[in-house]
Structure 1
Amino acid sequence: MKKNVLFVAVLAIVLMFSNEITAQKFAKLDKSPMDAAAYPASYKESNKMVKVIYSRPQLKGRTVEELAPSGKVWRTGANEAVEITFYKDVTFGGEAVKAGKYTLFTIPGEKEWTVILSTAENVWGSYFYNESEDVVRVMGTVSKSNELVEAFSIAFDGKDTNATMYLGFGNVIVTVPVKG
């Protein structure tokens, strides 16, 4: 009899808590999922120079110009503006930048993109972009890719403390040197 009462009590508690656990609503996968890129890129290297967290919009039949209009400040991805962290002082596009966390915006252009590091924090899109929060503005060189980059991407490549940040979308590749 004691075993039956104990069993019923444990079962009631489990059912009570399982309803609370399964009642939780989780968001579906975002259409422009977050991603991260770092330099050095290898997970085996923990001494990073830079890390970028960004969301990845997809073209889905649209043009880069539709999603990132020429001459207008762009959040450089989707959803929140790009968060870039430098773990040491660097030269970004030829300009000295102190170690720290920044928001990265861009202004697309045909031959060059203006790449902006800002002190703004926790920014959704570029709706509230404020030029007075700019730390540096540098020019990123534009080249054309033979392969279509369907989902906006950021990558780093380099050797030792000399890296290049690549922004790729459609057939547009923007490069910015980063030196540690």
Structure 2
Amino acid sequence: MKKLLTISTFILALTFTTGVSAQDFSDLDKSPMDAASYPSSYKESDKKVRIIYGRPQLKGRTVSSLAKEGEVWRTGANEAPEITFYQDVNFGGEDVKAGTYALLTIPGEKEWTVILHNKLNEWGSYFYKEANDVARVKAGASTDSKSLEAFSIAFKEVEDGVHMVMGWGTTRVAVPITM
């Protein structure tokens, strides 16, 4: 009886582990997730701000064909980025409470509207409602001589805080953040 129970347990375990080893895993994402934070040093555990976002690639296309002028854009790929402020901040002239927000933008030729939105986990900007905006700020758009294939976000330390800099192709947009 004991031997039969042991054999039955072995067969049952073999059945379940076979299913696990046959699991299909997807390929690498075409627009991988990335994160940027300030301070950016891994030695610094007291972060002030962090953003998690998807990084689409140009692949021969133009920024304006992917992030259309005058239309709400998810600011990256896949889900709208999530930006977390670990303390109250001034974001481009607007006071914002500590918390996590979706980051959306409306690209323009000379300036972009940068939006902090309280609806998280939304795919793209398809369900965007202006009523859920926490802050809307204008940020100047400039051109750089270096072109970036992948959409990128970084924080640049300045005298009175940091700038969240978004770049893609030769377009650069910076939003001042004071902590």
Q: TM-score, normalised by structure 1?
A: 0.90
Q: In percent, how many aligned pairs have the same letter? A: 58
Identify if the C-alpha distance between structure 1 residues 13 and 127 changes in structure 2 by more than 3 Å, giving closer, same or farther. same
Q: Give runs of aligned pairs for residues 81-100 of structure 1, distance below 5 A.
A: 81-100=80-99
**Distance in 2, Cα, partners of 1:161 & 1:37:** 19
Structure 2 portions without partners, runs of 5+: none
* SS of corresponding position for 2:35: strand
CA 1:12–1:51 in structure 2 vs 1: closer, same or farther (change >3 Å)? same
Q: Which amino acid aligns with 2:148?
A: V
SS of residue in 2 equivalent to 1:20: helix
Counterpart in 1 of 2:44?
45
**Aligned residues: CA RMSD:** 2.1
1:28 positional shift: 1.4
The corresponding residue for 1:143 is 142
Measure the CA separation in 1 of the matches of 2:107 and 2:83: 18
Structure 1 position 159, deviation (Å)? 5.3
CA distance in 1 between counterparts of 2:40 and 2:157 reads 9
Query: For residues 65 and 71 of structure 2, what CA distance do their matches in structure 1 show?
Result: 11
- Residue by residue over 1:45-91, the C-alpha shift from the partner in whole angstroms, topping out at 9 and shown as x without a partner, is 11111110100110000000000010100000011011111000000
**Is residue 68 from structure 1 mapped to residue 76 from structure 2 by the alignment?**
no
Structure 2: distance between partners of 1:46 and 1:71? 38
Q: How does 1:57-136 map to 2 (within 5 A)?
A: 57-136=56-135
| 3-state SS of 1:28 partner | coil
Question: What's the offset of the Cα at 1:145?
Answer: 1.1
Deviation at 1:24?
1.6
Counterpart of 1:44, as a letter, is: K
Report the Cα offset of residue 17 of structure 1: 4.4
SS at match of 1:79: coil
Name the SS of the counterpart of 1:114 in structure 2.
Answer: strand
What are the superposed Cα offsets for residues 87-117 of structure 1, whole Å, 9 maximum, x if unpaired?
Answer: 0000000110000010110000011100000
**Residue number in structure 2 paired with 1:155:** 154
Task: Write out the 4+ residue segments of structure 1 that deviate beyond 3 Å after TM superposition.
Answer: 8-18
Unaligned 5+ residue runs, structure 1? none
Residue 143 of structure 1: CA displacement?
Answer: 1.2
The two structures have a TM-score, normalised by structure 2, of 0.91
Give the counterpart letter for 1:21 in structure 2: V
